[in-house]
Structure 1
Amino acid sequence: MKKQPKIDVPPSMWEKFFNLLSAILIIALWVYAAQAYSTLPKEIPTHFDGSGVPDEWGSKKTIFIMPGIALITFVLMYFASKKPHLFNYPMKVTEENAHRLYPLAKTSMAIINFEMVLLFSYITWGMIQSAKDDSGLGVGFVIAALLIPLITSIIFMVKMNKVK
């Protein structure tokens, strides 16, 4: 394991904003799933194919899996973001550039964390809607779910590569 400088980096305004937004969205997601639960049929879609069409069904209790995954993912990524000296970077981290790289990395983690919570929220919403009206998530969702986190990562890597 490479030895990178360990420095204290206070959270940026954007990091705080996206973490707060994620927490609010997780709470709203749990409330939404709980409220929808009583109106769901006994079986709901639990998996969608590459074009966003439901292809597996299960108990309506499974509606709480996505909010659970969103919560666990958020918590793990939140605490991981507190240790930017353990991240992988596209360049050598030094005492001189760590104070510029670490805030970027932490903000990147907060944004990607928010995107993941948003993704699980949309899947939960899609499961509920699909159970009620036999619709699907759509192919646009599948493309967005793949591209948005990838684009965010690329943007931050480009920004990090500009750091001297």
Structure 2
Amino acid sequence: MEKRPILSVPKTLLERLHDSISVVVLVYSVVYLILRWTDLPETIPIHFDGHGNADGWGSRAFLLFMPLLTIVLFIGLSLLSKIPHKFNYLRPITAQNAAHQYRTAKSLLSWIKVELVILFGYLQWSTIQNAAGHSSGLGIWLLPVTLIVIFGTVIIHIVRMRK
């Protein structure tokens, strides 16, 4: 295995903003769930098809899983961003390109982290809205927009890494 430089790459202002947004969404998700818990029926929609229509039902306890999963993802991606020298890269890492590659990789993780937290926050909010009878489904645009945003983020960062 190649010996890569281990650099301290501080968080950028944008990465700190992403973390702040993520924490606000996480806190809102937990508080909203607590406030709405007693109003929810025992059986809620827990799965939606590609068009955003509910097609699976289960216990409202499933809603406890969503913020927990989001917190695990947030913490995991935060910890992972501290070791960019361990990532796989498109090019060999040298002393000359290490800082750029590490910053770009950390930026990618930061963007993916905030996008996933917002996605899971929206899914939880929407599931609660569906369970309460305030809306029907997730909407047909959720899946394509999510795929475009996440793959777009990855592609943009791959292009930056190749420079």
Where do 1:14-25 residues align within 5 Å? 14-25=14-25
Look up the match of 2:91.
91
TM-score by length of 1: 0.93
Look up the match of 2:148.
147
Structure 1 position 58, deviation (Å): 1.0
Look up the match of 1:107.
107
Query: Where does the alignment leave 5 or more consecutive residues of structure 2 unmatched?
Result: none
Look up the match of 1:135.
136
In the aligned structure 1, how far is the partner of 2:30 from the partner of 2:62? 13
TM-score by length of 2: 0.94
Tell me, what secondary structure is at the counterpart of 1:82?
coil
In the aligned structure 2, how far is the partner of 1:89 from the partner of 1:95? 14
User: Percent identity at matched positions?
Assistant: 36
Structure 1 position 2, deviation (Å): 4.6
Where do 1:1-164 residues align within 5 Å? 1-133=1-133, 135-162=136-163
CA RMSD for the aligned pairs? 1.3
In the aligned structure 2, how far is the partner of 1:100 from the partner of 1:90? 13
In the aligned structure 2, how far is the partner of 1:142 from the partner of 1:3? 40
The count of aligned residue pairs is: 162
Structure 1 position 98, deviation (Å): 0.7
CA contact (8 A) 1:81 1:106 kept: yes
Query: Where does the alignment leave 5 or more consecutive residues of structure 1 unmatched?
Result: none
Structure 1 position 4, deviation (Å): 2.4
Q: Which amino acid counterpart does residue 28 of structure 1 have in structure 2?
A: Y
Q: Which amino acid counterpart does residue 136 of structure 1 have in structure 2?
A: G
In the aligned structure 1, how far is the partner of 2:18 from the partner of 2:132? 31
Q: Which amino acid counterpart does residue 155 of structure 2 have in structure 1?
A: I
Q: Which runs of structure 1 show a deviation greater than 4 angstroms over 4 or more consecutive aligned residues?
A: none
Distance 1:3 1:48, change over 3 A: farther
